[in-house]
Amino acid sequence: MINDLWYKNAVIYCLSVGTYMDANGDGIGDFTGLLRRLDYLQGLGVTAIWLMPFQVSPHRDDGYDVADYYGVDPRYGTLGDFVEFTHGAEQRGIRVLIDLVINHTSNEHKWFQEARKDPQSKYRDWYVWSKKKPSGINQGMVFPGVQKSTWSYDEEARAWYFHRFYEFQPDLNTSNPEVQAEILKIMGFWLQLGVSGFRMDAVPFIIATKGPDVRQPEEQYDMLRTFREFLQWRRGDCIALAEANVLPDTDLEYFGRDGGRMHMMFNFQVNQNLFYALAAADTRPLAKALKATKPRPTTAQWGLFLRNHDELDLGRLTEEERQTVFAAFGPEPDMQLYERGIRRRLAPMLGGDQRRLELAYSLMFTLPGTPVIRYGDEIGMGDNLKLPERNCARTPMQWSNEPHGGFTKSGKPVLPVIGGGPYGYEHINAAIQRRHPESLLNWTERIIRMRKEVPEVGWGDFTVVPARDPAVLVMRYDWRNNSVLFVHNLDAKPREVTFAVGLDGDNAEEGKLLINLLAEDHSRAGDDGKHRLVIEGYGYRWYRVGGLDYLLRRSEIDQPPVRI
Ligand code: GLC
Ligand code: CA
């Protein structure tokens, strides 16, 4: 295969326009501000941006309640500003993915307004109704503890409507062919304006059967193929990145066994086990999650992440594992959310310890897939637990130590900039970190640069190399006659590990030499063919196997033909 599937070896940066940079001084970030920060993002080295919802919205769920799919919310600018932005990104070789929130609309969307007003309206059947009060309306809430039910009564419609999320987010009847046609039209519209694909919100709910009589929703996976075919036909290099927190045995239904459905999915299974590994210095469940999510078609890719804009959902861990993570990273009740997760940012969870932050990022960057980083994490931004629910980790980007972190000239930013204390903009900001070679910002820039030169991680096949110490993860990737090997010590204490690289045949000899890509200490195997390393607390190593002539040795095809 020609290796030009860009998403297989990309670095994705997620941000929300409203909290990135405010150019017109009204306190709300806008596309003009974001456009001016594209040089920063290019310098950081990211190759794609995932933009959170920016369409017209009453903003009761941070834009995940869309009131018009074909327009930019006026507080962020105009469609013209948006196109300036996608053009600016393209000029710098940065792709733009946007959120596609089509499981539900805002209740202020005109479709819903029409639907509730008039039972004869064509929009009536675009939503999910019940004349009678359905049974089990207090089941299946996505936001337990905050959201009360999944059905609400609408006085005007004189009927109950279904909402998987908050009551102001009525579910679209996604089985209706007209709704499906509209979804494609929305995709086509934004593709025409320069985006390279979509992060599809809440995919398992989009494809589920919905209705008052549905006891056990069933996934209609074929719908995913319809979306995929449309995308690929309109623009060959466009992708769909699915938000689907599902069990590994259904992964292939989402990717498609022949790779014909979603290009990418977030790896929630690995995410939760990664946090357990960090909390317990025990990498065994993580290794298991990696194995469970390994099978996938060549064209499919995982999105790997540490934190995102939502809570860290720990719902798939065992009770004991979950309690371990809570105890380590979110012991206080106000750090936890929805009875299953932690709402903090990464840096405060790890006590602001840069060694540990580097370890966590180094690990994430070297797990099988494409890394997705969250704005502000490159400088170790904190959270504001006084803000409700997930807003605590959605505060404005901290650019400098000028008022409001240089985010706005207005006295009243959309959400308060974090000030004072260890994570205040006075200390934690991009301008200061830029001046220090060892800052997290400069470290992140260097690690991204190196990660891009290690396509083995995105494209290759991985092996967890036995190291007999649960605190240490050793992984090898092989691709086109090249191999790389990574070692991570998740414990605070130093560890000594012994391992064989595990290559055989022609490559066994290569395995005896490991060239460190980040520092000077290389490793040569002993007479027994094994490497012996002492690795400091929270230490990590990136090695090239065999030497730096790897590019001279790389093959042009994935599997060299078997010689007889
Ligand atoms: C997804 C989003 C979340 C949003 C929800 C409803 O889970 O990530 O932020 O609240 O969908 O659209
Ligand atoms: Ca503004």
pLDDT of 561 strictly over 70: no
Mean pLDDT, residues 44-59 taken together: 98
Average pLDDT over residues 490-503: 97
- Which residue's CA is the nearest one to ligand 1's atom 2? 201
Ligand nearest to the CA of 205: 1
Largest CA distance in the chain: 82
Does position 563 have pLDDT exceeding 60, yes or no? no
Residue 513: what pLDDT? 97
Q: Which atom of ligand 1 is nearest to the CA of 308?
A: 8
> Measuring from atom 9 of ligand 1, which residue has the nearest CA?
310
Phi/psi of residue 28, each to 5°?
A: -120, 130
Using one digit for the tens of pLDDT, what is the confidence trace for 367-377?
999 999 999 99
Mutate to test the pocket of ligand 1, among 50, 69, 163, 201 (most ligand atoms within 8 A of CB): 201
pLDDT > 90 fraction of the chain, expressed in percent and rounded:
96
pLDDT at 504: 87
Region at 150 (left for phi over 0; alpha for psi -120 to 50; beta for the rest): alpha
How high does pLDDT run on average in the chain? 97
What is the spatial distance between Cα 395 and Cα 382, in angstroms, rounded to a whole number? Answer: 9
The residue to mutate among 107, 143, 310, having the most atoms of ligand 1 within 8 angstroms of its beta carbon, is 310
Cβ–ligand 1 contact at 540 (below 6 Å): no
> Does residue 76 contact residue 29 with C-beta atoms inside 8 Å?
yes
Paired with 24 in beta bridges are: none
Contact predicate 46/373, CB 8 Å: yes
Helix, strand, coil tally for the chain in percent (to 5): 35, 20, 50
Neighbours of 186 (CB within 10 A): 17
Q: pLDDT-based confidence at 560, cuts 50/70/90?
A: low
Please state, in angstroms and as integers, the Cα–Cα distance from residue 482 to each residue in 451, 510, 511, 522, following that order. 15, 10, 11, 17
CB-based contact 267:293 (threshold 8 Å) = yes
pLDDT in tens, 11-45: 999 999 999 999 999 999 999 999 999 999 999 99
Mean pLDDT of 463-473: 97
Average pLDDT (423-448) is 98
Ligand nearest to the CA of 73: 2
171 lines ligand 1 (CB under 6 A): no
Mean pLDDT along residues 448-477: 97
Q: Is the pLDDT of residue 391 over 90?
A: yes
**2 pLDDT tier (thresholds 50, 70, 90):** confident
Tell me which residue has its CA closest to atom 5 in ligand 1. Answer: 64
Q: Return the residue whose CA atom lies nearest to atom 6 of ligand 1.
A: 64
pLDDT tens for each residue of 92-132 = 999 999 999 999 999 999 999 999 999 999 999 999 999 99
Q: How far is the CA of 468 from the centre of ligand 1 (A)?
A: 40
φ and ψ at residue 355, rounded to 5 degrees: -60, -40
Q: How far apart are the first and last CA of the chain?
A: 23
Report the alpha-carbon angle 429-430-436, nearest 5.
100
Please compute the mean of the pLDDT values over residues 447-454 and round it to a whole number: 98
Q: Does ligand 1 lie within 6 Å of residue 101's CB atom?
A: yes
Distance of CA 505 to the CA centre of its chain: 38
Amino acid at 23: A
Our answer on whether the CB atom of 61 is closer than 6 Å to any ligand 1 atom is: yes
- Ramachandran quadrant class, 259 (left: phi over 0; alpha: psi -120 to 50; beta: rest): left
Tokens 């292939």, located at residue? 252
| pLDDT band, residue 553 (cuts 50/70/90) | very high
Residue type, 269: Q
Residue 16 or residue 145, greater confidence: 16
Per-residue confidence band for 3, with pLDDT thresholds at 50, 70 and 90 = confident
Report the predicted TM-score, pTM, of the whole model to 2 decimal places: 0.97
- Are β-strands 312-313 and 129-130 bridged in parallel, bridged antiparallel, or unpaired? unpaired
Residue 564: is its pLDDT beyond 50? Answer: no
User: Which ligand lies nearest to the CA atom of residue 61 in the structure?
Assistant: 1
Nearest protein CA to atom 4 of ligand 1, as residue = 64
Q: How confident is the model at residue 229 (pLDDT cuts 50, 70, 90)?
A: very high
pLDDT at residue 441 is higher than 80: yes
Q: Is 262 in the pocket of ligand 1 (CB under 6 A)?
A: no
pLDDT by residue (tens digit) across 71-89?
999 999 999 999 999 999 9
DSSP string, 45-57: T--EEEEPP-EE-
Protein residues placing their CB within 5 Å of the ion ligand 2? 22, 24, 26, 28, 30
Span from the CA of 64 to the centroid of ligand 1 (angstroms): 6
Q: Is the CB of 310 under 6 A from ligand 1?
A: yes
Catalytic residue positions, numbered: 201, 243
Which residue owns the Cα nearest ligand 1 atom 7?
202
What residues pair up with 14 in beta bridges, in sequence order?
A: 50, 374
Confidence band, pLDDT 50/70/90 cuts, at residue 541: very high
Does residue 381 contact residue 424 with C-beta atoms inside 8 Å?
A: no
CA distance to 168, 169, 203, 303, per residue, from 109 (Å): 10, 10, 21, 31
Tokens found for residue 465: 């190399």
Q: Which amino acid, one-letter code, is at 466?
A: P
Whether residue 421 has pLDDT greater than 60:
yes
Q: Which of 372, 369, 362, 533 is nearest to 450 (CA)?
A: 362
User: In what helix (H) or strand (E) does residue 199 lie, and over which residues does it extend?
Assistant: strand 197-200
